[in-house]
Structure 1
Amino acid sequence: MRLHHLLRATALAGAFLCGPLLAAEAGKPLPAIEDFFNNPDFSDAVLSPSGKYLAVRLGSKTKRDMLGVVELDTNAVKVVGNFSDADIGRYAWVNDNRLVFTATDKDLAQGDMRYAPGLYAINRDGTGFRQLAMRNGKPFITSGSTLGQRELLPWHTYLMNQDGAQDSEFLYVLDRDLSGPGQLNHVDLVRLNTANGRIAAVADRPGNSYYWLLDYNGEPRLTVTSDKGTASMYYRDPATKAWRKLGDYERYTGRGANFRPLAFGPDGTLYVVSWHKSDVAAVYTYDVNTNKLSDQPLVKLDGYDFHGELIMGKGKLLGVRHLTDAMGTTWLDADMKAMQQKIDDMLPNTVNLITLPKRAESPWVLVTAYADIWPRRIMLYNSQTQKLTLVGSSHPAINPNQMARTTLVHYKARDGLSIPAWLTVPQGSGKNLPMVVLVHGGPYVRGNEWDWMPDAQFLASRGYAVLQPEYRGSTGFGTRHFVAGWKQWGLKMQDDIADGTRWAIEQGYADSKRVCIAGASYGGYATLMGLVNDPDLYKCGVEWAGVTDINLMYDGSWNFTSDLPEAYKQYGMPQLVGDQVKDAEQLQATSPLVQAARIKQPLLMAYGTADMRVPLPHGTKFYKAVKQTNPNVEWIEYDEEGHGWKLPKNRIDWWGKVEKFLDKNIGTAAP
């Protein structure tokens, strides 16, 4: 098989890619729901350490995903890994000749999953296959498997998110000690020979580690442990192998040591993220001998906490990838800066992220390109020929000319706090539109970035403006913004969402009589509290997998398992969400379950029967309560789904129901 038979090459110089976007044609059929919510046609590709080979996941809607390797000089493709009854999961290069991969099943929802991912290794020519880790206690039967006599690693063995040295047959894997769903006791780091399955060494740990950081040479150099809600950072001396504490902080609130480890440079320099004398986190170097931060930050972003990674190569720091409104790269290396400019000139309408091989011996790099109107595409760029080749597109059926633009806006909350929000406006006039206020989950995470967002784009394609507030408590926008959201469920966090809705109405984007609030998880909670607190503002609500009572998060239900860690309930929730004893009155006043009778607007609800983060009783108890006084409540259960919908058929079904519900209440079919 040749690459051009499998992957479509493109010159990427046409007007469609690089020229101005055209307005959507009047009367053209709407994009299908499936185009937004099917699994990606193509999701990833990984260059080998030399850059001479490309590992890709191959598959289709009707076939199991396989692992393929492309020899880039010849474009020859070879399938090296496949299962008869599973799909290829994660995969990574051990060295330039050998890969490891896991198994998964894209056709099963959470409640039907019966196996762990396992771990397997194979050479890029298809030889040397070996199973390395069990799947739930049993060897996973695979066509062509030649299991050796050596005992397999336990099922709770997982790949790291770090490449390691990639220069031998060894790699480090994680052994997670679990006492139940979501209950992680500690993580051991295991050095594994992928050729014979032997455990060559196990890195000792100074406590109950839950995070490990390898240095540039792929050796364990730092770990973070947890004890009763306190996180401790330890540095491992390369000469003595002894661990030395660098600092402590509260694991869930972050209070304490004002830095977090980021990466080690080729010279052993430790780079950290710190809030030193600033509201936003920046990148500093940290002297492990003197325990001091550098005087000046290496990278500091205006208005944003640093989130990203350092890009190493050629024995030095080449650049920094960082997130502001969108992902971007600041290159410190002149050659990489020039390459970025050439690629950006070829793809002027997209964010273009370059991924380098570990030790480049070829001219190939990977480019991930995307925009608010453009789903992700992965390409190969040849630095010698200066040509781009399309490897794959995540959602090729999506036409960017039919998508809506997304803008980061800011508005003032009633107490003066500036709230960022994502505004997606359908093509056309963009004034006095029906609007969906889409609330992100978490809640103590960043909700979105400038990217193609299938939910917002789907709603916009149906004529709805979409507002997605980064309400207080959302991370990434500075410490003040984060801390302002502590213990504000249903209170100031809710006010931020309402104030954003009123801002959109005042600006003329939204019709005040046609606004619906929607969200999942915490976003589902905020949907219900929005209907309670602001009945004049929201015509209807859509919530799925939503929290309906904070006390239920603590206490759960005897016949439903929760994966919410006990440590988080004990040390995190009392400070971030509310203390069951000290804040009992507040938790009652901000409980949708307790306030259910106040909700009179039409409401669409959905839950997964296998959800362990927000178990089913959150939904069933609330539905029973609200139906006593509100006849306009629709209830949906997705059998075996967890916290959100994994299966495309359920996502497509759900958003089809959302479309009909919105149309009936605030769309063209509304009274």
Structure 2
Amino acid sequence: MPRHLAGLCLAGLFALLSVAPRHVRAQTGTPAPPVSDFARTGSLSHPAISPNGQYLALSLHNDKAKWGEPDHQLVVLHLPDLKYVSRLDMVSHYQPAQILWVSNTRMVVPLAYTTSALEAPQGTGDIIAVDFDGGHKQTLYSLRHRGSLQAGPHSMDMPRGFPSIAGVPYPRNGHVYIQLGIIPERNAAGDWDSHRSQIYDVDSISAKPTLMGDIDKGSMSFVVHDDVARLAYGTTDAHSIDVYARADGQAAWTRLPDSVTGKHLSPLRISRDGQTLWSLYSEAGGPDQLVSSRLDGSGRQVLARDDFASVGDVLWDVQSGKPYAALFETGRPHLSYLDDSLSAQVLKALNGNFADHLVLLGGGDEAGKRLLVVAQSDRDPGSLALFDTGTMNLQPLFQIEPWIHAEQMAERRPFRFKASDGMELEGYLTLPHGSSDKHLPTVLLPHGGPIGIRDGWTYDTDAQFLASRGYAVVQVNYRGSAGRGPAFQMAGYKHFGDRIQQDLLDGLHWAIDQGYADKDRVCVYGGSFGGYSSLMQPIMAPGQFKCAIDYAGVSDWSIGFERSDTSHMSVGRTYFAEAIGDEATAKAISPLYQLDKFNVPVLIAHGEDDPRVPYQNATRLRDALDKAGKPYEWLSKPKEGHGFYAQENREELYQKMEAFLGKYLGH
């Protein structure tokens, strides 16, 4: 430990992270946590410290809110005493997607909307600004209300498009950079305008925008330096990233050649002296590396890399603006430190003291005096603390899910194995706490997606629920998953119904061969694409599974071609075509047309208003099972989308799962 951190005061956080040492086992006969503990969702998110270090803003979730009542609030607390300052109630199902301080007293907040458990909150197209005390609320952009009084005084100064935050000026001056992927519209001649992207400097008080950059390419992101949009980048397909640059004072953009950038370079930030560009870079489709280069991409140097895993996140020093660590999330997450800055030293010391946790710094004040500490583990959903670099004191703040007791939760073990075609894959094995770890009833738990999504080591609600009921849980990051680079993701395309399913089976066979899983007591459960996999696995491996649980899963891919909320969008049509193929191929890999091979009881659970995987996937499957005389159990809920949002519905699902698995696994 660095000498000046030797006096680090950790007692408070040890109490907050109430984790038993790994050698301590639960007493036999200890009752399992109630189902309701797993049906609840995290109480806080998006913590952010003001530049002067005086305020902490965060999003609070009220899982007891009734339908139509505000279930999220934007809350501001004074530091370090945590005295309440203000609260802003969100409209029902709306929440902050991000909280960004643009001055010592003002925040900019993009909004997100969610009505389902299986999807990340989706941006609404609204960005608001508000003072720390809740005053002077201003709408900076609203796609829904553009042109109305509700959208703010300058709502027509920017075109219709999908907004996102591109950053803030340095030093912060109350302004924010908002980038737009502009929605094409018909011009006076009746022709469609070309796809465009723009970026604006927006005053968060007046909402007045100033155009900073305009490029005739759709869905581009921008990198700004000294109030000049210097780079734009984006992708038109799944195979490459285009990077454009322009000189100071010039409007024209020049595409940087592949010979310099390669096909997969994603610019992140420009150094404050304007000489260095930091980017994520994939060489020949391999795992993403953190690299530095000149602004045109030349002179590239590797700062952090791993032969197996991509850089999952980059940690930036608030004072210098430089990256000080890179996070690799595959297996047991680990950090690669890039310098010996104070932030790096603090992080090393904290991770050394909390070896069972992954500890990260979630930002801090501009003086580098107060740093927000975020700690999480395989058994702990997460805790927040405040580190004072002047006193070296660590002050506990909040637990994200205080009703979860980490000492009752199960260990998640990363594992690697070779798929049957020789590809190296990874997965996670969650073992019931206090069990013998041998020949256990087992649930195979495929993740959703499938492309660009992955399972990780940190707390997983489904896996912990199943383990708390005595089941070993096997999860596999099959080809197509995130975290391994573009080539690994592309390896999942056109293989939804064969190689991906075989990867899952190969991971299950690894657990059986190692003696963890009882080969005669295995079921499969998943949501979304995982629900599809839960239907495909018994078809792929007759006799291997005793039952299946299909939660908002695809039974007929051709329904998505017609009715999914993405099917009418060009990006959605492109994805279906590239990832699956034509409708004939979609039907060929659909469980609905292979039910003669499906011979296990299945629990079908689906939201009746699901826009992503339409409800017809469940009803057509039910009708076909009825016609074939095959056993199933049923749970559907009105007003629910892609996964159950209401706590009482999630609790009912878990209760039915517990009874269903107990019935067929005899546990």
Q: TM-score higher than 0.5 here?
A: yes
- Counterpart residue identity of residue 407, structure 2: N
Cα distance in 2 between the residues matched to 1:616 and 1:384: 57
Give SS of 1:336's match. helix
Given that 2:268 and 2:279 are in contact with CA atoms closer than 8 Å, whether structure 1 keeps it comes out as yes
Give SS of 1:408's match. strand
CA shift in 2, pair 1:601/1:186, >3 Å? farther
CA shift in 2, pair 1:228/1:496, >3 Å? closer
Shift of 1:620: 1.9
Q: Does 1:562 align with 2:572?
A: no
Q: Does 1:55 align with 2:85?
A: no
Q: Tell me the alpha carbon deviations over residues 415-438 of structure 1, each in whole angstroms, 9 at most, x when there is no partner.
A: 222221111111210111111100
Given that 2:241 and 2:263 are in contact with CA atoms closer than 8 Å, whether structure 1 keeps it comes out as no
Deviates more, 1:230-239 or 1:632-641: 230-239
- Counterpart residue identity of residue 344, structure 1: N
- 2:505 maps to 498
Given that 1:597 and 1:630 are in contact with CA atoms closer than 8 Å, whether structure 2 keeps it comes out as no
CA shift in 2, pair 1:630/1:364, >3 Å? farther
Cα distance in 2 between the residues matched to 1:562 and 1:190: 29
- 1:234 maps to 244
Shift of 1:310: 4.5
CA shift in 2, pair 1:544/1:133, >3 Å? same
Q: Does 1:406 align with 2:412?
A: yes
- Counterpart residue identity of residue 46, structure 2: D
Where does 1:139-288 land on structure 2 (aligned, <5 Å)?
A: 158-160=163-165, 162-165=167-170, 167-178=172-183, 187-199=197-209, 201-215=210-224, 217=226, 219-225=228-234, 232-247=242-257, 257-268=263-274, 269-276=276-283, 279-288=286-295
- Counterpart residue identity of residue 145, structure 2: G
- 2:7 maps to none
Q: Tell me the alpha carbon deviations over residues 217-260 of structure 1, each in whole angstroms, 9 at most, x when there is no partner.
A: 565332235558875321232342432212579xxxxx972422
Cα distance in 2 between the residues matched to 1:432 and 1:109: 32
Given that 2:288 and 2:309 are in contact with CA atoms closer than 8 Å, whether structure 1 keeps it comes out as yes
Shift of 1:365: 0.3
- Counterpart residue identity of residue 340, structure 1: L
Given that 1:52 and 1:361 are in contact with CA atoms closer than 8 Å, whether structure 2 keeps it comes out as no
Structure with larger RCO (C-alpha < 8 A, sep 6+):
1
Cα distance in 2 between the residues matched to 1:130 and 1:553: 39
Match of 2:326 among 301, 307, 321: 321
Q: Does 1:617 align with 2:625?
A: no
- 1:386 maps to 392
Given that 1:265 and 1:312 are in contact with CA atoms closer than 8 Å, whether structure 2 keeps it comes out as no
- 1:5 maps to none
Give SS of 1:423's match. strand
Shift of 1:150: 5.7
- 1:3 maps to none
Given that 2:212 and 2:228 are in contact with CA atoms closer than 8 Å, whether structure 1 keeps it comes out as no
Match of 2:581 among 578, 582, 588: 578
Given that 1:43 and 1:393 are in contact with CA atoms closer than 8 Å, whether structure 2 keeps it comes out as no
- 1:642 maps to 641
- 2:312 maps to 307
- Counterpart residue identity of residue 632, structure 1: P
- Counterpart residue identity of residue 636, structure 2: E
Given that 1:550 and 1:587 are in contact with CA atoms closer than 8 Å, whether structure 2 keeps it comes out as yes
CA shift in 2, pair 1:341/1:571, >3 Å? closer
Shift of 1:175: 4.0
Give SS of 1:489's match. coil
Q: Does 1:515 align with 2:522?
A: yes
Give SS of 1:35's match. helix
Give SS of 1:593's match. helix
- 1:595 maps to 594
Given that 2:444 and 2:522 are in contact with CA atoms closer than 8 Å, whether structure 1 keeps it comes out as yes
Q: Tell me the alpha carbon deviations over residues 250-293 of structure 1, each in whole angstroms, 9 at most, x when there is no partner.
A: xxxxx97242223322233222222336733312223344x535
Cα distance in 1 between the residues matched to 2:541 and 2:380: 35
Cα distance in 1 between the residues matched to 2:217 and 2:175: 24
- Counterpart residue identity of residue 52, structure 2: S
Given that 1:18 and 1:348 are in contact with CA atoms closer than 8 Å, whether structure 2 keeps it comes out as no
CA shift in 2, pair 1:80/1:541, >3 Å? closer
- Counterpart residue identity of residue 95, structure 1: S
Shift of 1:99: 1.2
Given that 1:47 and 1:54 are in contact with CA atoms closer than 8 Å, whether structure 2 keeps it comes out as yes
- Counterpart residue identity of residue 93, structure 1: W
CA shift in 2, pair 1:496/1:118, >3 Å? closer
Q: Tell me the alpha carbon deviations over residues 499-518 of structure 1, each in whole angstroms, 9 at most, x when there is no partner.
A: 22222122111111110112
CA shift in 2, pair 1:192/1:336, >3 Å? closer
Given that 1:191 and 1:202 are in contact with CA atoms closer than 8 Å, whether structure 2 keeps it comes out as yes
Identity %: 26
CA shift in 2, pair 1:614/1:247, >3 Å? farther
Cα distance in 2 between the residues matched to 1:631 and 1:330: 53
Where does 1:79-94 land on structure 2 (aligned, <5 Å)?
A: 79-82=86-89, 88-90=95-97, 91-94=99-102
- 2:103 maps to 95
Cα distance in 2 between the residues matched to 1:368 and 1:588: 45
Shift of 1:178: 4.8
Given that 2:415 and 2:428 are in contact with CA atoms closer than 8 Å, whether structure 1 keeps it comes out as yes
Given that 1:134 and 1:140 are in contact with CA atoms closer than 8 Å, whether structure 2 keeps it comes out as no
CA shift in 2, pair 1:392/1:600, >3 Å? same
Q: Does 1:120 align with 2:128?
A: yes
Alpha-carbon RMSD across the aligned residues, in angstroms, is 3.5
Q: Does 1:71 align with 2:70?
A: no
Q: TM-score, normalised by structure 2?
A: 0.85
**5+ long unaligned stretches in structure 2:** 1-9, 186-193
Q: Give aligned pairs, total.
A: 635
Where does 1:396-435 land on structure 2 (aligned, <5 Å)?
A: 396-427=402-433, 428-435=435-442
CA shift in 2, pair 1:162/1:450, >3 Å? farther
Cα distance in 1 between the residues matched to 2:195 and 2:631: 45
Cα distance in 1 between the residues matched to 2:91 and 2:310: 45
Given that 2:116 and 2:643 are in contact with CA atoms closer than 8 Å, whether structure 1 keeps it comes out as no
CA shift in 2, pair 1:616/1:161, >3 Å? farther
- 2:12 maps to 11
Give SS of 1:348's match. coil
Cα distance in 1 between the residues matched to 2:570 and 2:200: 25
CA shift in 2, pair 1:140/1:546, >3 Å? farther
CA shift in 2, pair 1:631/1:20, >3 Å? same
- 1:369 maps to 375
Cα distance in 1 between the residues matched to 2:143 and 2:572: 30
Q: Does 1:551 align with 2:553?
A: no
Give SS of 1:409's match. strand
- Counterpart residue identity of residue 405, structure 1: E
Q: Does 1:298 align with 2:285?
A: no
Shift of 1:614: 1.5
Give SS of 2:658's match. helix
Given that 2:18 and 2:406 are in contact with CA atoms closer than 8 Å, whether structure 1 keeps it comes out as no
Cα distance in 2 between the residues matched to 1:616 and 1:75: 45
Q: Does 1:24 align with 2:16?
A: no
Give SS of 1:307's match. strand
Given that 1:434 and 1:464 are in contact with CA atoms closer than 8 Å, whether structure 2 keeps it comes out as yes
- Counterpart residue identity of residue 577, structure 1: I
- Counterpart residue identity of residue 650, structure 1: N
**5+ long unaligned stretches in structure 1:** 1-8, 250-254
Q: TM-score, normalised by structure 1?
A: 0.85
Shift of 1:382: 1.2
Shift of 1:549: 2.7
- 1:4 maps to none
Given that 1:115 and 1:135 are in contact with CA atoms closer than 8 Å, whether structure 2 keeps it comes out as no
Match of 1:349 among 356, 366, 369: 356
Shift of 1:300: 0.9
Deviates more, 1:521-530 or 1:228-237: 228-237
